[in-house]
Amino acid sequence: MIIKIPIPEESKCLLKVVQKVTFDTPFLEEKTATDIHIPLAKTLGIPPSKIFRYLKKFVGDHTEKGETLANKKTLLSTQTIVCEYAGIIKEINHTEGVMVIAVFEGKRNSIPAYFTGEVVEIKKNELSLKVNEGQEYVLKSAGADFGAGTFYLKEVNMRLTDIEVQNKILICESLSPYAQAKIEALGTKGFISVKDASEAVTIPHAILKYVDDLKKIFHSHLPYCLVDRKNSRIYFYA
């Protein structure tokens, strides 16, 4: 089976074709980002809810120094906000009238792989990973791209230890607030469920779209899983 894995923009892939990858293999070199807040509404003297009328750049757009972010024209004058940073527009808050630009600095961080297998192809925005066998399922939602070995929680009241769940992804129908707090404390990498989290989560979480898929996943009992947030997919593989 071939699994497609996204490569984020502003990141450099450190893997090579035909390379065997494990969970401690360096995967990405990523520039650190600083958020710059630009008070568009205040600068232009307009209500925050009206800023979209004046924008020249939008969320996801790249920015360069000297580019126009927004302008306001009247009969007597034109007021322009010029970008002072090279980056990517991360957010436009119409409640506060603020634009947030992520500016990537020179320092880079190395991020390890969250998957295992053989790299068979690398493109600009994705790589193809070959695994021995696998199954693909649709997600209702996912908070991040993540992956690791799997631990299958078949009984809600099953006693958990750090040896079993540390650095693993827990697969379950649902978790109580107590169980959720416990797996976070035990070092679980994340969890997959068919129901929403009972409380706010601090570890990655994904929700299966179809309840019946959980039975198939438990039956196959494959040792690894990988979440693709962008395409709302999860892969269980070996």
Domain residue spans in the chain? 32-106, 133-237
Each residue's pLDDT tens digit, 19-29: 999 998 999 98
Strand 146-152, strand 68-73: pairing: unpaired
State the pTM of this model: 0.70
* Residue among 4, 25, 33, 189 nearest 111 (CA): 25
Least confident of 130-139, 150-159, 176-185: 150-159
CB 3 within 8 A of CB 120: no
| pLDDT score of 117 | 98
| pLDDT score of 60 | 85
Residue with tokens 């631990």: 151
The CB density around residue 225, as the number of other CB atoms within 10 Å, is 27
Per the prediction, the chain carries an average pLDDT of: 91
Assign residue 167 a region (left: φ > 0; alpha: ψ between -120 and 50; beta: otherwise): left
- Fold classified for 32-106: OB fold (Dihydrolipoamide Acetyltransferase, E2P) (2.40.50)
CA–CA gap between residue 25 and residue 14 (Å, rounded): 9
- Fold classified for 133-237: Glucose Oxidase; domain 1 (3.50.30)
Query: Of the segments 92-101, 171-180, 184-193, 218-227, which one has the largest average pLDDT value?
Result: 218-227
Mean pLDDT along residues 168-188 = 90
CA–CA gap between residue 193 and residue 60 (Å, rounded): 30
Q: For residue 229, what are its two tokens?
A: 């947030």
